[in-house]
Structure 1
Amino acid sequence: MKREQTIASLGTLVQLRSLAVDRLQADLASQEATRVRYQNNLARMDALATGSGASGALPPALALNCGAYKQNVLAMAQLHRTDLALHEANMAVAQRKLSEAWTERELLGKVLEQQEVELAKEQDRIVRKREDDIATQSWMANRTA
């Protein structure tokens, strides 16, 4: 009875770990989508900065305006790159947590499997002993008759 309770508890733990792994995978997928958005935004900002043309060929007022525009776009792109680097660091932490949770789930799964095998062996031994006892009783009954 105790082994069955252990197996039930391990089964519950494996299910909980599986849910945690699923949650972490979903979180990592969301973070990956955010990373892609950052990269797409950076590509657009770079295109905006290079697409504004050379400011030196423009009249002084327009050149000043174009230069300020490029400087602001490049500054915003740099802030975006910093945010992306921080986000990627958070993704690395999330990936490590996912890996640890997956490993823990797998280990618990193996322990559960071992416990189930041991229970099956134990139950098989009980059945064989009962069959042996019945066979012995039958043999003894036939011998005395």
Structure 2
Amino acid sequence: MSDQHFIRNLTTLVALRDTEVEKLQAEQAAKQLTADRYRKNLERLAQLAENSGASGSLPLALAANCGNYKQAVMAMADNHRLDLTMHEADMAVSQRALTQAYVKREVLGQVLEKNERSLADRQAMQERKVHDDLATQLWLRSQKGS
């Protein structure tokens, strides 16, 4: 495989890794927005439970209704907290995957840069050799003519 073909393949791999990293970043951002929504909903549920008032000062039927309402809101908040905890665990797994993808991309990028520099150095050396050969031929011709 030629060096240029190898570098082209590495460039393609780096581009694919970039795409993967961008995709994982977008997924992580969406998950962060979802987590923020969970937190805001928990705040609203806490406000609903708090703003429903004291049920002890109400007539018996209304007090029971208010108590049931508060229990339902608190149960919903508990379910939301559990969902948020599970979502945050999923976010942690996604963050690790993003970090790994970023590291792989960086490693490939460094390999690509190293190979590009190596190829450029070899091409420059070949070019210098050609110039040296031409200079030697020119010098030899000038010596024959003298």
Does TM, normalized by the shorter one, top 0.5? yes
Aligned pairs for 1:134-145 within 5 A: 134-145=134-145
Q: Is 2:85 aligned against 1:49? A: no
Q: Which amino acid aligns with 1:143?
A: Q
| Alignment partner, residue 84 of structure 1 | 84
Q: Distance in 2 between matches of 1:112 and 1:39?
A: 43
Pairwise CA distance, 1:2: 1.1
Runs of 4+ in 1 over 6 A off after TM superposition: none
TM-score, structure 2 normalization: 0.98
Q: Which amino acid aligns with 1:126?
A: Q
Q: Which amino acid aligns with 1:107?
A: V
Q: Distance in 1 between matches of 2:56 and 2:2?
A: 84
Q: Distance in 2 between matches of 1:111 and 1:78?
A: 50
- C-alpha deviations, 1:92-115, integer Å up to 9, x for none? 011111111111101100100000
| Alignment partner, residue 10 of structure 1 | 10
Q: Distance in 2 between matches of 1:60 and 1:48?
A: 21
Q: Is 2:69 aligned against 1:61? A: no
| Alignment partner, residue 128 of structure 2 | 128
Q: Which consecutive unaligned segments of at least 5 residues does structure 2 have?
A: none
Pairwise CA distance, 1:52: 0.5
Q: Distance in 1 between matches of 2:93 and 2:6?
A: 33
The sequence identity of aligned pairs, in percent, is: 51
- CA RMSD in angstroms comes to 0.8
Q: Distance in 2 between matches of 1:17 and 1:65?
A: 57
| Alignment partner, residue 106 of structure 2 | 106
TM-score, structure 1 normalization: 0.98
